[in-house]
């Protein structure tokens, strides 16, 4: 029997500027960049459990499932850098 990696949870460190963009709020308190916005940005990639919070440090978390994990992670990083700015 041989085990294969099928899913992995990744943590990407965010710069101060990237974290500030994610923390911005509208006057009514709603986030400027919502989880729905980031999730739609990452579609149709096999990404789940998208999460960030200033309570957990300056990190962006997500889980990748499937057989092409390395390429998906690279695509996620590229799309996030396009939306939030480069490191």
- The per-residue pLDDT for 4 is 87
Report if residue 65 sits inside a domain: yes
By residue range, what is the domain housing residue 55?
7-84
Report if residue 78 sits inside a domain: yes
Report if residue 38 sits inside a domain: yes
pLDDT tens digits, 13-24: 999 999 999 989
- The per-residue pLDDT for 55 is 72
H or E segment and range at residue 37: helix 35-42
Report if residue 75 sits inside a domain: yes
Report if residue 1 sits inside a domain: no
Sheet holding 59-65, edge to edge: 7-13, 59-65, 47-52
pLDDT tens digits, 36-83: 999 999 999 999 999 987 677 899 999 999 989 999 999 999 999 999
How many domains, the chain?
A: 1
Peptide bond into 17 cis (omega under 30): no
């Amino acid at each position: 029997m041989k085990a294969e990696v099928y899913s992995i949870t990744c943590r990407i460190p965010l710069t101060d500027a990237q974290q500030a963009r994610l923390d911005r709020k509208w006057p009514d308190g709603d986030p400027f960049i919502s989880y729905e916005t980031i999730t739609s940005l990452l579609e149709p990639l096999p990404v789940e459990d998208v999460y960030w919070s200033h309570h957990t440090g300056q990190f962006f978390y997500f889980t990748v499932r499937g057989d092409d994990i390395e390429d998906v992670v690279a695509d996620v990083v590229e799309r996030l850098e396009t939306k939030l700015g480069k490191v």
